[in-house]
Amino acid sequence: MRILGIETSCDETAAAVVEDGTRILSNVIASQVEIHSRYGGIVPEVASRQHLLACIPTLDRALKEASMSVAEVDAVAVTSGPGLAGSLVVGVNLAKSAAMAHGLPLVSVNHLEGHIYANWLEGNNRLPEFPLLCLIVSGGHTDIILMTGHGEYRQLGRTRDDAAGEAFDKVARLLGLGYPGGPVIERAARGIEKPRHLPRSWLKGTDDFSFSGIKTAALHMAHELGVTSENPSPESGRMAAEIAAGFQESVVEVLVAKTCEAAQRHAVREILLAGGVAANALLRKTMVERAPVPVRIPKPILCTDNAAMIASCGYFRFKAGKTAGWDLDVDPNLRLV
């Protein structure tokens, strides 16, 4: 069964065709990073305009690369939330038009659930086994989820303030490292032998996270050391990189320790990582080294936003009979649980 997936929740216009929820036939992503980096973050109005410009060519390319026409797919899956309203609405209307024109079923997908399903794509032959623990770390969310079956989720913990990716983005900005924060912090931290120590926020006795304290500590440290983002001296640049490395270390240590502890407590069979921050090499390596059970992490291009994950999730929802009506609307605050 072939599912066409469409994703426009944030700043990537994406379309993909996936077979049986696991095999990628095409996966096209039109990134807006270059445009938004001029502003140091995502400008919602610019994002929705870009989606309008890019959505048809992206869809055409995804179908061409899969050597298919829309009429040949079995269903159309689309992200309906959470995300930016003006961005989501472009994808949802594109999906509705394509499905309606060809008499195809429409499936709505929660973006976070899509991130989890990136772990079903192109894995080795062994698919994830339930019960499993999922750490979702994206620009808008940081959640620990217990997954007991397809579509069965229990939220164990969440961030109480900033999401992990949001903290990466904010700290990169205050250190003058650019946008998006995750990749630039990772690059700056590479080769730093003595990262500056930043505090860890444990919220002991809970599966919750907090990242705003680390962010504020990084800001104070940058001020104290005289790190400046405008015309930085080589010395200032080096100190910024040391703070970046310390920040990355702190976030990774807390994410890994709390996920491993929850995995043990709930006796899960494996741990899944999902979301843009799961592209981080230190997080990937540390999680694999410390986890009490096998760890599965999508390759980096499938961690950040893409439509293959939406098509995969759409396949499992479709198989479970969960189709959407033509009155499907976007829900910028859609929750997984």
Determine, following the binding rule CB under 5 A, whether residue 142 of this chain makes contact with Zn ion: no
Which residue, 138 or 312, has its beta carbon nearer to Zn ion? 138
Q: Can residue 246 be called a binding residue for ligand KG4 (CB under 6 A)?
A: no
User: Residue 143 or residue 305: which is nearer to Zn ion going by CB?
Assistant: 305
Between 44 and 131, whose beta carbon lies closer to Zn ion? 44
For position 5 contacting ligand KG4 by CB under 6 A, the verdict is no
Task: Give the count of residues interacting with Zn ion (CB under 5 A).
Answer: 2
CB 280 → ligand KG4: shortest distance, Å?
Answer: 3
Shortest CB 83 distance to Zn ion, Å: 8
139 binds ligand KG4 (CB under 6 A): yes
Give the interface segment with ligand KG4, choosing from 94-102, 132-140, 151-159, 257-265 (CB under 6 A): 132-140
Of 104 and 142, the one with the shorter C-beta distance to ligand KG4 is 142
CB of 306 to ligand KG4, least distance (A): 8
Chain residues 266-295 in contact with ligand KG4, contact rule CB under 6 A: 275-277, 279-280
> Token pair for residue 103?
């008499």
- With helix as H, strand as E and coil as C, how does the chain read? CEEEEEECCCCEEEEEEEECCCEEEEEEEEECHHHHHCCCCCCHHHHHHHHHHHHHHHHHHHHHHCCCCHHHCCEEEEEEECCCHHHHHHHHHHHHHHHHHCCCCEEEEEHHHHHHHHHHCCCCCCCCCCCEEEEEECCCCEEEEEEEECCEEEEEEEECCCCHHHHHHHHHHHCCCCCCHHHHHHHHHCCCCCCCCCCCCCCCCCCCECCHHHHHHHHHHHHHHCCCCCCCCHHHHHHHHHHHHHHHHHHHHHHHHHHHHHHHHCCCCEEEEECHHHHCHHHHHHHHHHCCCCEECCCHHHHCCCCHHHHHHHHHHHHCCCCECCCCCCCCCCCCC
Residues 173-202 that bind ligand KG4 (CB under 6 A): 180-183, 186
Taking CB under 5 A as the rule, does residue 87 contact Zn ion?
A: no
Candidates 70-78, 86-94, 138-146, 217-225: pick the segment binding ligand KG4 (CB under 6 A): 138-146
Q: Are 3 and 107 in contact (CB under 8 A)?
A: yes
Which listed range, 67-75, 89-97, 118-126, 163-171, lies at the site for ligand KG4 (CB under 6 A)?
A: 163-171
Q: Which residue in the set 66, 172, 305, 317 belongs to the binding site for Zn ion (CB under 5 A)?
A: 305
Q: Which of 5, 21, 86, 140 binds ligand KG4 (CB under 6 A)?
A: 140
Q: Name residue 273's beta-bridge partners.
A: 135
> Which of ligand KG4, Zn ion, none does 250 bind, CB closer than 5 to 8 A by kind?
none
Strand partners for 155 = 145
- Rule CB under 5 A: is residue 138 a binding residue for Zn ion? yes
Considering the rule CB under 6 A, would residue 10 count as an interface residue with ligand KG4?
Answer: yes
Provide the mask over 43-62, with x wherever binding to ligand KG4 is found by CB under 6 A and - wherever it is not.
--------------------
Give 218-226's long-range contacts (Cβ < 8 A, gap of 24+): 218/171, 218/174, 218/175, 218/243, 218/246, 218/247, 219/174, 221/196, 222/174, 222/175
Burial-class residue 220 by CB neighbours within 10 Å (0-12, 13-18, 19+).
exposed
Segment interacting with Zn ion, rule: CB under 5 A, options 72-80, 168-176, 188-196, 300-308: 300-308
**Cβ at position 304, least distance to Zn ion in Å:** 7
Q: For binding to ligand KG4 (CB under 6 A), which residues are involved?
A: 10, 138-140, 165-166, 168-169, 180-183, 186, 275-277, 279-280, 304-305
Q: For binding to Zn ion (CB under 5 A), which residues are involved?
A: 138, 305
